[in-house]
Amino acid sequence: MKKTKIIIYTLVGGLLFYTINSIILNKSQASNQTENSEVISKQNNVNFELPNFENAAAKAIKSVVHIKSKFLQNSIYRYYDPFFGNRYFKQPKEEVASGSGVIISSDGYIITNKHVINKATEIEVVLNDKRTYNAKILGTDPNSDLALLKVEANNLDFLDFANSDNIKIGQWVLAVGNPFNLSSTVTAGIISAKSRKINILNDGGIEAFIQTDAAINAGNSGGALVNTDGQLIGINTAIQSNTGSFTGYGFAIPSNMAQKIVSDLKKYGEVKRAYIGIHISDINNDIKEYFSLNGLNGVLVSKVLSNSAAEKAGIKDLDVIIAINDITVNSVSELHEIIVQFSPGDEIKCKIKRGKKTIDLSFNLQE
């Protein structure tokens, strides 16, 4: 009898211990799961939080205009002459080209692409609020495909220039313009590359484009590429496509380059360009081996021009420029993008490699 009671008590005690232990364990697991869920939730909020484009878009569309350029183009007409048969004659016909522009001051200065207003006899600017103005051409620069216009107006919304030297690959951007006459269109994407050369300008043209996958199409030319703060980082200029429509590759002129050029056009009616006085080339494996260079970084000085700023500063043929004003240079287009921001007479710091030596030079640019 006593043995039976002992067995029963033992079984009951074990059952109670198992039940209490299970309850405590379940509570602990539930607590851990809650904590883990909170951590995952917090991580998800950080990793998947998207930028808000609303403020940038609202600001940009007020400052991007629709440009309509009227120009005359000869059209060929045919008529039948009873004595001589079919005859042809030319008759001027007014055509209208469409593009975009960016207001850069409250008193009506507008930047656009030169190709948007080519051969224009009259330029009409349409604001986002549908107000229209006739615009005057203050100057154009074929080497960068930029133009500066002016309308007689005050208290206009405008975009501030951002420092395009500070942009990063992968950074979110908005493209704003009037593709296919669809006014005030905003598209989003990222910066895909910097200092891109795509060979669309004539000899002497300066190409150091920002590449983006934000949709750009016909009519976007001259429009704005802005950051998420609504600041201007580029002027949309071109696309690369086999179809003539956007396929993921759009290109914009960096804001630092645009700001210098329009400043000159406003002040002088032309661009005052500064030069180092050298011929340069990109460095690849073939050039590295041929000239026995110590690496692939920088750009090669293939020739120093006589009596140039470079010659006076002591730069020599086969030197390698690796930095300008502490900004690393690894391609011809990167160097052009930096130098185009300066005026004749400005002083720059140039870091070069000559063999195994690194040399720092300071000198003034020439016109």
- Domain segments of the chain as ranges: 63-150, 164-268, 278-364
**What is residue 83's predicted lDDT score, i.e. its pLDDT?**
57
Domain range 278-364, CATH architecture: Roll (2.30)
**Residue 289 banded pLDDT, cuts 50, 70, 90:** confident
Query: Residue 137: pLDDT above 90?
Result: yes
Average pLDDT over residues 120-143: 93
107-128 burial, b if ≥16 CB within 10 A, otherwise e?
ebbbbbbbbbbeebeebbbbbb
**What is residue 56's predicted lDDT score, i.e. its pLDDT?**
94
**What is residue 181's predicted lDDT score, i.e. its pLDDT?**
82
11-65 pLDDT, tens digit each: 445 555 555 555 544 544 544 444 444 444 445 555 557 788 999 999 999 999 9
Which residues are the active-site residues?
115, 145, 221
**What is residue 13's predicted lDDT score, i.e. its pLDDT?**
53
Q: In the CATH scheme, what is the code of domain 63-150?
A: 2.40.10.10
Q: In the CATH scheme, what is the code of domain 164-268?
A: 2.40.10.10
**What is residue 54's predicted lDDT score, i.e. its pLDDT?**
93
343-358 pLDDT, tens digit each: 999 999 999 999 889 9
How many residues are present in the chain? 367
Among 77-91, 153-167, 174-188, name the most confident range.
Answer: 153-167
Do 164-268 and 63-150 fall under one CATH topology? yes
Report the DSSP beta bridge partners of residue 328.
323
**What is residue 160's predicted lDDT score, i.e. its pLDDT?**
96
**What is residue 207's predicted lDDT score, i.e. its pLDDT?**
86
* Calpha distance 272→343 (Å, rounded): 6
Average pLDDT over residues 242-260: 87
**What is residue 12's predicted lDDT score, i.e. its pLDDT?**
47
Please give the residue that has the higher pLDDT: either 234 or 199.
234
53-112 pLDDT, tens digit each: 999 999 999 999 999 988 666 666 565 666 566 766 565 666 778 899 999 999 999 999
* Calpha distance 147→290 (Å, rounded): 42
- Residue 51: what are its φ and ψ, rounded to 5°? -70, 155
